[in-house]
Amino acid sequence: MRIRATELYYVDAMDLPKAIEGFLEHLYEARRVSPHTLRAYQGDLAALQTDLPADLTPILVDQLTASHLRIHLGQLAERGSGSSTLARHIASIRSFFRWLEENGEITTNPATQLRRPKKKQKLPHYLEEKEIDALLSTPKKDEPGGLRDQAILETLYSTGCRVAELVALNETDLDCKQGIARLRGKGRKERIGMLGGPAVEALEAYLNQKSLHSQNHGPVFLNRKDTRLSTRSVARLLEKHLRKAGIHRQCSPHTLRHSFATHLLRRGADLRSVQELLGHANLSSTQIYTHVSIEGLRKLYAQAHPLGKEETRRPKPTG
């Protein structure tokens, strides 16, 4: 998208439509933004201009206040814009007014008073313990790939590792006697994952079988071509075993990581320990699982407590 250069910086510099055009010219010429980004800025600022009061004629940039901007954002919300769309509009408005300020077109920047809307935090999907039991029982030892699939599922749930960490495992990273696995997480950071009894048993059975059929003692988990298994292959085998277990909800290998954390907290693990086991740099990343745990307790309370359900609450006494 090419915007025609004009003498915007000197003629009617305080006029909003021409100021917007000058800003877009700056984005194209100086910042070299992509056509897609340029169209997004243009659309966002056009929406702002449309929502301004009709009595602002002509619309001069130094007349705009934080109230004008908030009213515009409120109108966007009323028209159905979600938090992500509102956040993008705010970013566009901030960039525009910052440019006006830097170019001496305004002395007070009203956009500094805008705050990004909080995105609704989505609770992670997880499997209940009985569903995990059903899933882990689906691989059969006498089926092709059965021992490998069993070891994969047990390791994912036992360590709470990411699927990328799982497929990156080498045999030298495992210590089945100690029940630990060395995991390489984000930013090449290493941590220790715990291997429970079922995971150790499944890994030993798979590695014994693997040594009989393969000379590749590097990667732990191999595909049919005797090379390292991919993350996509793990997702496919998980889908297969979910169907066998009768679990028809949408799940991914990360669902087992969410299940790992949720079940630990439900059974009394402290948040700091779960943070370390997950390899989270910040505790805030782990705290979302407390919401999952509380939600689970709330459902349990509603099912089990005599007054947990709305319809069983005692009627208020009448005067």
CATH number of the domain at 49, please: 1.10.150.130
Question: Do 258 and 155 lie in a common domain?
Answer: yes
Residue 25, domain member (yes or no): yes
Tokens 């700091």 — which residue? 272
Q: Which of 51, 78, 113 is the last residue of a domain?
A: 113
Question: Do 52 and 170 lie in a common domain?
Answer: no
Q: Which of 81, 113, 145 is the last residue of a domain?
A: 113
Question: Do 70 and 189 lie in a common domain?
Answer: no
Question: Do 133 and 99 lie in a common domain?
Answer: no
257 is catalytic: yes
289 is catalytic: yes
- Burial bucket for residue 279 (CB in 10 Å: 0-12, 13-18, 19+): buried
159 touches 194 (CB < 8 A): yes
Q: pLDDT tens-digit profile of 121-159?
A: 666 789 999 999 999 999 998 888 999 999 999 999 999
Residue 40, domain member (yes or no): yes
Catalytic residue from among 26, 72, 89, 162: 162
Catalytic residue from among 210, 241, 257, 258: 257
Q: State the pLDDT confidence band at 315, using cuts at 50, 70 and 90.
A: low
Identify the top-confidence range among 28-42, 196-210, 259-273, 286-300.
196-210
What's the rounded mean pLDDT across residues 243-269?
92
Residue 278, domain member (yes or no): yes
Question: Do 216 and 297 lie in a common domain?
Answer: yes
Q: State the pLDDT confidence band at 9, using cuts at 50, 70 and 90.
A: very low
- Burial bucket for residue 280 (CB in 10 Å: 0-12, 13-18, 19+): middle
The pLDDT of residue 310:
52
72 is catalytic: no
Which secondary-structure segment (H or E) carries 152?
helix 146-159
The pLDDT of residue 145:
92
Question: Do 99 and 164 lie in a common domain?
Answer: no
Q: State the pLDDT confidence band at 304, using cuts at 50, 70 and 90.
A: low
110 touches 64 (CB < 8 A): yes
Expressed as residue numbers, the domain containing 167 is 129-304
Query: Which of 53-67, 118-132, 302-316 comes out lowest in average pLDDT?
Result: 302-316
Catalytic residue from among 70, 182, 191, 280: 280
Question: Do 78 and 195 lie in a common domain?
Answer: no
Residue 315, domain member (yes or no): no
The pLDDT of residue 293:
60
Residue 208, domain member (yes or no): yes
Q: Which of 73, 88, 113 is the last residue of a domain?
A: 113
pTM of the model: 0.58
Strand-pair category, 174-175 with 190-194: unpaired
258 is catalytic: no
What's the rounded mean pLDDT across residues 228-243?
96
Question: Do 177 and 31 lie in a common domain?
Answer: no
Residue 43, domain member (yes or no): yes
Share of the chain above pLDDT 70, in %: 84
Question: Do 281 and 168 lie in a common domain?
Answer: yes
Q: State the pLDDT confidence band at 257, using cuts at 50, 70 and 90.
A: very high
Residue 235, domain member (yes or no): yes
Q: State the pLDDT confidence band at 11, using cuts at 50, 70 and 90.
A: very low
Question: Do 178 and 281 lie in a common domain?
Answer: yes
Catalytic residue from among 119, 186, 189, 305: 186
Question: Do 72 and 133 lie in a common domain?
Answer: no
Residue 123, domain member (yes or no): no
314 is catalytic: no
Cα–Cα distance measured from residue 53 to residue 33, given in angstroms and rounded to the nearest whole number: 31
Q: Decide if pLDDT at 13 tops 50.
A: no
Question: Do 254 and 138 lie in a common domain?
Answer: yes
26 is catalytic: no
Q: State the pLDDT confidence band at 83, using cuts at 50, 70 and 90.
A: confident
Tokens 């509380």 — which residue? 294
Q: Decide if pLDDT at 86 tops 70.
A: yes
How many domains, in total, are found in the chain? 2
